[in-house]
Homo-oligomer: A and B are copies of this chain.
Amino acid sequence: MEEIKIFAPASVANVSCGFDVLGFCLGPVGDEMVIRKSSTQGVTISKIEGQDLPYDVKKNVAGVAAETLLTSYPIDYGFEIEIYKKIKAGSGIGSSAASAAGAVFGINELLGKPFSPHQLIAFAMEGESVASGAAHADNVSPVLLGGITLVRSINPLDVISLPTPKELTAVILHPKIELKTMHAREILKKNVPMEKAIQQWGNLGAFVSALYKEDYELLSRSLKDEIVEPMRSLLIPEFESLKNASLNAGALGFGISGSGPSVYALTKGMDKAKKVSEGIKKIISPIGIDFEIHLSNINNQGLKIISSQ
């Protein structure tokens, strides 16, 4: 195999009670990437379409992730990467994670799969750190493993795949305002009240249980964020109205996707997702902000090969 074309999906991290640990992979939204072997050693970014992103390998998340992988697997040739961005950078649905995960996934395929998906997470995390200023795994994990993942620990890296209830469906609203991950991190407090922290881990434990039991009601009761949402939601226009509209339209839960500005709702089934989408449109349309809405199943496969040669 000399060349591979892949689909690198978007993802939702910081899923309410699972701040910094929970993430899930989206279906229809994602980038395409072409990765091919090159006689020149090292990594080259040869094309970027759809976004204004750096060609400098050291400043590009895909480049950094790819180079990190190759440090662990020295070879006498290299790789050329083409990136066709469809996920907007800074949208909060894992744009940088898709690029970082896509790069290491594609290279691993071309190398004959020397690394497991779990090992690829570690490489992709390095790419992620270029974008957000901190290495985190809660977007790259669901992209590389598919489905819903929990990052138990970053160091040592320990990521767990959680089961996906069959009818679980996501609605994503991307209000097109700029909100950098690094800025959204600065708004976070260094300390949290013990009482709130206890509520948060009670909710996360219940959420994990709900996934195993396919208990949508428990899932709904536990999809709460006592810690981060009260702070970060202030950065998102009409957050409370959007949340109320979604819950009134039957959403199981609603929260910030990643570090925003995108928000997500989870529903039981696509019909409910459509209703939630209508409710959201009624709130966001009059404001005059450009926006996109995505409806998606939970993507249990994650990254996908489109073609190879």
Q: Is A207 an interface residue (CB 8 A)?
A: yes
Q: Which of B191, B199, B212 contacts A194 (CB 8 A)?
A: B191
Kindly supply a per-residue 1/0 record for chain A positions 138-154, scoring 1 wherever the CB is within 8 Å of any chain B CB and 0 otherwise: 00000000000011110
- A201/B160 contact (C-beta < 8 A), A191-B191, A191-B194 known: no
A68: min CB distance to chain B, Å: 23
In this complex, the member of A191, A200, A222 whose beta carbon has the largest number of chain B beta carbons within 10 angstroms is: A191
- Cβ contact within 8 Å between B189 and A150: no
Q: Which of B150, B153, B201, B221 contacts A21 (CB 8 A)?
A: B201
**What is the chain B residue whose CB lies nearest that of A203?**
B152
Chain B residues, Cβ within 8 Å of A20: 198, 202
- Cβ contact within 8 Å between B152 and A221: yes
- Cβ contact within 8 Å between B21 and A205: yes
Chain B residues, Cβ within 8 Å of A79: none
CA distance A191 to B21 in the complex (A): 20
Q: Is A158 an interface residue (CB 8 A)?
A: yes
Of the A-B pairs whose beta carbons lie under 8 Å apart in the complex, a sample of 7, sorted by A's number, is A18-B201, A19-B201, A152-B206, A197-B200, A197-B201, A197-B227, A209-B212
